[in-house]
Amino acid sequence: MTDVDRATWQAILPSQTRVVQANGVVRVTVPIDLLPATVQQLGASARLADMFADHQPHADPVVRLVWALDVDAHRYLVTETDCPTEEYPSLSSVEPAAFVEECEIYEQFGLRPADGGPLNRVALPPHVDANFPRLGRTPPRDAADIRAPHTVGGAAFEFPFGPVRAAGFESLYYGLVTSGEEVVDLYLFTWHKYRGIEWRIRGMQPRQALFLVERAEGLSAASHAWAFAAAIEKALRISVAPAASRIRAAAVELERIYNHVAAIAALCQSTGLAVAQAQIEVILEQLLRIGARFFGHRYLFGVIDIGGVTRGVDLRGLSTETRAVCADLRDATDALNSTNSFLDRLEATGLITTSQASSLGLVGPVARASGLAVDTRCDHLQPPYDEYPVDVACADSGDVRARYHVFLAEINAAVRLIKDLAVPDCDVDVQPAAIPVSAGSGLGWAESPRGEALAWVELDSDGRIRRGRLRPAAVRNWRAFGDGARSQNVFTDIPIIEASFWLTAAGRAR
């Protein structure tokens, strides 16, 4: 941030706020009484990307909001507000995208929005007690009105589905409310997958924590590892070699391809096309084997390291094999694109409008299929995407068919990008980079297959993690799943909608 930028934002925000920059992070200190006004002003020109809290001994809890300036400035701002009491001004009433994080903050820190509105249970299971590990203080009391009411009235009834659903599926509970065939409401419980990743990494060295960060959402292991590594690198001013950045990007693009292929296979399964499903799952298996051959792991664990990568990769060989497999995928999807019984099930199913996507802060293919061209690879450039531009695939109908076409376009774009990244000089030093023992803070990001993945870290003077925050795209996008399910759909549409969102319960409950 330049002095001109700082002066510009200081002029836009309320006068009592203070804009500073430290350790590569732009921070805006906001008094608690000005927080709603500041959120309203920032919301007019920025996207709320994350909201989380911190509580250190002998200090007031702090609520942080991460704002993405997706146009013009192309950077992130972090606002910080001290909360001397158990309440802070409700922000979801001003910025609806903040609701899920308000629920998380209450569960982990006991801080409640001052409007007293009901909150949903997001991560912690209902049987937890005061001794359950939390990031901050236990809520002093679980008020009778704290949870959103779970009631079904009239002629409607709740059809329970989950949490055990099928072999290979994550634990996830749907309460499908209906009076017959049409879904009129949906209750979603993801807390069965809670593992306390952010609590577990506290006190760890950054390289130790990478193991758990990758497993916060295993199908986006490379993306989250990159976001976390980037946060550490910004906090400690560690540089990354260009060749290592290209290998990182190639791993994430391969991750994008195999996730989109898996989503298409799930769409085939949910629409009853067993032969097409089998064909595409063969292609998925080939892609996973390519990952194991070139990166050492089918799901790309252990590829990214602090300051670089763990191994050199033959990117030209990776490009050749990936293009060959995706040529087979094109043959399979060409057949799908001429199958009316498939396309008819996707059209006008699971609708998410542009205004819904914007107000909920959606990211990734779900947002892009609803007309929002948000993509951190373009909006928040970092190497190597600053030299290898990405074509952002968008649609505007917001239904399952739009998301399916975005998947196809992004697969093609990822294949081209891997080819572009395969320059002759791909040799890297795979020796572990020295990590300075120093305090610092940093924000990192990457564009995972599901959308923007964020990581915030604060290191103490011993170089250990004092606070680590992971924000997978699932935190943002699961809330829209309920809206999509309620948009005049029937029971058999729900698996189709879930496949098109291609989210994980682990990413939300982590």
pLDDT > 90? residue 121: no
Asked whether the beta carbons of 501 and 264 are under 8 A apart, the reply is: no
Number of H helices and E strands in the chain, helices first, is 17, 15
Cα(289)–Cα(158) distance, rounded to whole angstroms?
42
**DSSP H helical segments within 196-241, as ranges?**
197-200, 206-214, 221-236
- Hey, what are 200's tokens? 């577990």
Asked whether the beta carbons of 32 and 82 are under 8 A apart, the reply is: yes
So what's the pLDDT on residue 71? 63
What is the average pLDDT score of the chain? 87
Cα(259)–Cα(451) distance, rounded to whole angstroms?
12
pLDDT > 50? residue 4: no
Asked whether the beta carbons of 305 and 295 are under 8 A apart, the reply is: no
Least confident window among 88-92, 114-118, 353-357, 474-478: 114-118
Q: How far apart are the first and last CA of the chain?
A: 32
Among candidate residues 134, 141, 132, the one with its CA nearest the CA of residue 112: 141
What's the CA angle centered on 231, arms 359 and 221, to 5 degrees?
75
Preceding amide of 163 cis, omega within 30: yes
What is the distance of C-alpha 32 from the center of its chain? Answer: 27
* CATH topology for the 4-113 domain: Beta Polymerase; domain 2 (3.30.460)
Average pLDDT over residues 442-462: 94
DSSP 15-74: TT-EEEEETTEEEEE--GGGHHHHHHHHHTTSEEEEEEEE--TTS--EEEEEEEETTTT-
What is the distance of C-alpha 393 from the center of its chain? Answer: 18
* Cα torsion angle, 280, 395, 177, 172, sign: positive
Instruction: Report the residue count for the chain.
Output: 510
More confident residue, 48 or 74: 48
Asked whether the beta carbons of 154 and 179 are under 8 A apart, the reply is: yes
List Cβ neighbours of 102 (8 Å cut-off, separation of 6 or more): 51, 90, 91, 92, 113, 119
More confident residue, 282 or 1: 282
Tens of pLDDT, residue by residue over 249-300, are: 999 999 999 999 999 999 999 999 999 999 999 999 999 999 999 999 999 9
Looking at residue 385, the DSSP 8-state letter turns out to be T
Q: List the strands of the sheet with 440-448, edge to edge.
A: 440-448, 451-459, 465-471
What's the CA angle centered on 36, arms 371 and 381, to 5 degrees?
45
Helix (H) or strand (E) segment spanning residue 265: helix 242-270
Asked whether the beta carbons of 96 and 43 are under 8 A apart, the reply is: no
Tens of pLDDT, residue by residue over 36-60, are: 988 988 888 889 999 999 988 888 8
Average pLDDT over residues 229-233: 95
Looking at residue 493, the DSSP 8-state letter turns out to be G
Q: How confident is the model at residue 178 (pLDDT cuts 50, 70, 90)?
A: confident
So what's the pLDDT on residue 62? 93
More confident residue, 494 or 409: 409
Tell me if residue 304 falls in helix, strand or coil: strand
Strand 25-29 and strand 18-22: the pairing is: antiparallel
pLDDT > 50? residue 125: yes
* Entry pTM: 0.92
Cα(204)–Cα(102) distance, rounded to whole angstroms?
26
Radius of gyration of the chain (CA): 22
**Superfamily of chain region 197-509:** Cytochrome-c3 Hydrogenase, chain B (1.10.645.10)
Average pLDDT over residues 222-237: 95
Asked whether the beta carbons of 465 and 228 are under 8 A apart, the reply is: no
Helix (H) or strand (E) segment spanning residue 466: strand 465-471
So what's the pLDDT on residue 46? 87
So what's the pLDDT on residue 490? 82
**198 appears as a binding residue in the annotation:** yes
- Hey, what are 255's tokens? 């991750």
pLDDT > 80? residue 431: no
Among candidate residues 209, 106, 194, the one with its CA nearest the CA of residue 456: 209
Q: Where are the domains of the chain?
A: 4-113, 156-193, 197-509
So what's the pLDDT on residue 127? 79
So what's the pLDDT on residue 451? 93
Cα(321)–Cα(395) distance, rounded to whole angstroms?
29
User: Residue 129 CB: number of other CB atoms within 10 A?
Assistant: 6
So what's the pLDDT on residue 353? 94
